[in-house]
Amino acid sequence: MSSGVDDLSSGGTTAGTEAPAATGGLTRPPGLRLPAVVQTLLFSECRHWLFPLLKRRYGEVFTLRLTTPTRHLVILSRPEDIKTVFAGPVEVLHAGEGNAIMGPALGDHSVLLIDEDEHRRARRLLMPAFTGAALRGYEDMVTKLTRAEVERWPEERAIGSHRRMQALTLEVILQVVFGVTDEQRLQQLRPLVRGIADIGPVTLLGLPYPLLRRVGPWRRHVSLQRRLDKLLYAEIADRRRAADLHNRTDVLSRLLQAEGAEGSQPGENRFTDPEMRDQLITLLLAGHETTATGLAWALHELVRDPAELARARKAADEGDEAYLTAVAKEALRLKPVVYEVARQLSAPLTVGGYRLPAGSTVMPAIGLVQSDPRHHEQPDAFRPERFLDGQPPANTWIPFGGGARRCIGAGFALMEATVVLRELLQRYDLRPDRPEPEAQRAHHVTLIPKRGARVVVTRRR
């Protein structure tokens, strides 16, 4: 895809910067003049410090140029500009095109990669599996899997909580979402799913290029995809034929039950097998790594704040789910797992004071708006109670995106996080392996703890 925007002029600017450029009355914000390949590497590996730096230098709206199909990015950090994007016409603001870099990893039918009528249809078919009643049905299984996992945690030595949370959320995906309970199939799926979910940023950026997919890490990823697809298609086929389908409560079975209630033929009211495969892969990649990372950051912050840890432990003992959910929300505010979301313009649109041409990609910067002291008092402090005193101002806490494209699994993720925190804090006292906080590190589209959010646990007496 072409950005449809001309290269920026450097006339009259300081070395290394760009002034707004105009093309037929269309303008674009300032930004770096570094080569696009350099900007691409900076964006993929260290956007969490690059974006704040560029905001201080250029203001609350700025531009990046990439070598990927989405070539020109306009970064936004004002709530009013983010509102323009989230509440704007879906016919103009295409999230699917904005997420195009994920296409080879997710599949063409993924709800993250389609727009307009296709997206509305897919979201309508997915919604029955994520209602409040459905979430309550999943909680017992999440609790059971969590208890089994945390009972295996070794005591009195440092462990990487991020890796342990990944193991747990993998089981949740396989058993609660995919509905796989056969141990032989689970043993086949686990290494494939881990390999798919562990895709690095360089591998992700290179997947759209056919030549790269024949070599190195790209070839390995394609091989994993093919093997996983074979198992997923077999699982879908078996589930469609299952005599006990209507007694099953996993996400895949709920999706198939909803289909049966509306019609049995592929089309408007039913996912085809390839469509179902792409939605399952999307739920896997969107729900496995992100939830595990959010939980790891929550533990990372709790163990470095004895007062908040004591309050969270008390909440776990008393069944105060509101406070435990607030802990999860505050961790997502302070350490956003995903730093930005994207929309590609299918027509010109005025955003942030600039008339942007079709083909531009606008990016509400989750990390920038959530760390702004104008919206969150003491933004560098871990204060879960800020989510007990009322909700933050609109479009200032957006870890799940917003508008018509808000993450469909947001409720599931918060339910899972609340259950995990409750079960873990009821069993263990926790402390950090060292007092210094861990840095953020880019891992494909997420930001993870650099040392794995290492903690030491001791069983409570």
pLDDT at 274 over 90: yes
Per-residue pLDDT, averaged over 79-84, amounts to: 97
**Predicted local distance difference test score (pLDDT) of residue 419:** 98
Cβ atoms of 339 and 447 closer than 8 Å: yes
pLDDT at 11 over 50: no
User: ∠ at Cα 278 (272, 284), nearest 5°?
Assistant: 135
Place of tokens 């079975």: 253
H helix and E strand count, the chain: 17, 16
Spatial distance between the Cα atoms of 36 and 210, rounded to a whole number of angstroms: 21
Report if residue 357 sits inside a domain.
no
CA distances from 452 to 165, 257, 293, 296, 441 (A): 10, 39, 9, 8, 10
Spatial distance between the Cα atoms of 32 and 38, rounded to a whole number of angstroms: 10
Per-residue pLDDT, averaged over 5-29, amounts to: 42
**Predicted local distance difference test score (pLDDT) of residue 98:** 80
pLDDT at 23 over 70: no
Identify the band that residue 21 occupies on the pLDDT scale cut at 50, 70 and 90.
very low
pLDDT at 334 over 70: yes
The beta-carbon contacts of 433-437 under 8 Å, at least 24 apart in sequence, are 433/158, 435/304, 437/300, 437/304
Report if residue 42 sits inside a domain.
no
Per-residue pLDDT, averaged over 37-41, amounts to: 90
Please, where are the H alpha helices in 7-115?
A: 36-58, 79-87, 95-98, 103-106
Q: Average per-residue pLDDT in the chain? A: 88
Report if residue 183 sits inside a domain.
yes
Report if residue 155 sits inside a domain.
yes
Instruction: Tell me the pTM.
Output: 0.89
pLDDT at 278 over 60: yes
Spatial distance between the Cα atoms of 5 and 2, rounded to a whole number of angstroms: 8
**Predicted local distance difference test score (pLDDT) of residue 101:** 76
Over the range 169-206, which residues count as b (16 or more CB within 10 Å of their CB) and which as e?
bbbbbbbbbbbbeeeebbebbeebbebbbebebbbbbb
Identify the band that residue 284 occupies on the pLDDT scale cut at 50, 70 and 90.
confident
Spatial distance between the Cα atoms of 232 and 229, rounded to a whole number of angstroms: 5
**Predicted local distance difference test score (pLDDT) of residue 4:** 31
Report if residue 79 sits inside a domain.
no
**Predicted local distance difference test score (pLDDT) of residue 24:** 44
**Predicted local distance difference test score (pLDDT) of residue 287:** 82
Report if residue 76 sits inside a domain.
no
Spatial distance between the Cα atoms of 284 and 106, rounded to a whole number of angstroms: 9
Per-residue pLDDT, averaged over 130-158, amounts to: 95
The residue among 268 and 452 whose pLDDT is bigger is 452
Residues 391-438 pLDDT 10s:
899 999 999 999 999 999 999 999 999 999 999 999 999 999 999 999
What element of type H or E holds 191? helix 183-197
Per-residue pLDDT, averaged over 253-273, amounts to: 71
Where in the sequence is the domain holding 201, given as residue range(s)?
101-338+382-459
Spatial distance between the Cα atoms of 298 and 242, rounded to a whole number of angstroms: 39
Please, where are the H alpha helices in 336-377?
A: 366-370
Lowest model confidence (mean pLDDT) among 124-128, 155-159, 340-344, 443-447: 443-447
The phi and psi torsions of 247 (rounded to 5 degrees) equal -100, -5
Report if residue 363 sits inside a domain.
no
104: left (phi > 0), else alpha (psi -120 to 50), else beta? alpha
Tell me what percent of the residues of the chain surpass a pLDDT of 70: 91
What is the token pair recorded at 362?
A: 């606008």
pLDDT at 20 over 90: no
pLDDT at 269 over 80: no
The two most distant CA atoms of the chain are separated, in Å, by 72
Number of domains comprising the chain: 1
In sequence order, the 6+-apart residues with CB closer than 8 A to the CB of 416 are: 142, 169, 172, 291
Spatial distance between the Cα atoms of 245 and 252, rounded to a whole number of angstroms: 10
**Predicted local distance difference test score (pLDDT) of residue 104:** 83
Q: What is the CATH number of the domain that holds 386?
A: 1.10.630.10
Identify the band that residue 260 occupies on the pLDDT scale cut at 50, 70 and 90.
low
Report if residue 92 sits inside a domain.
no
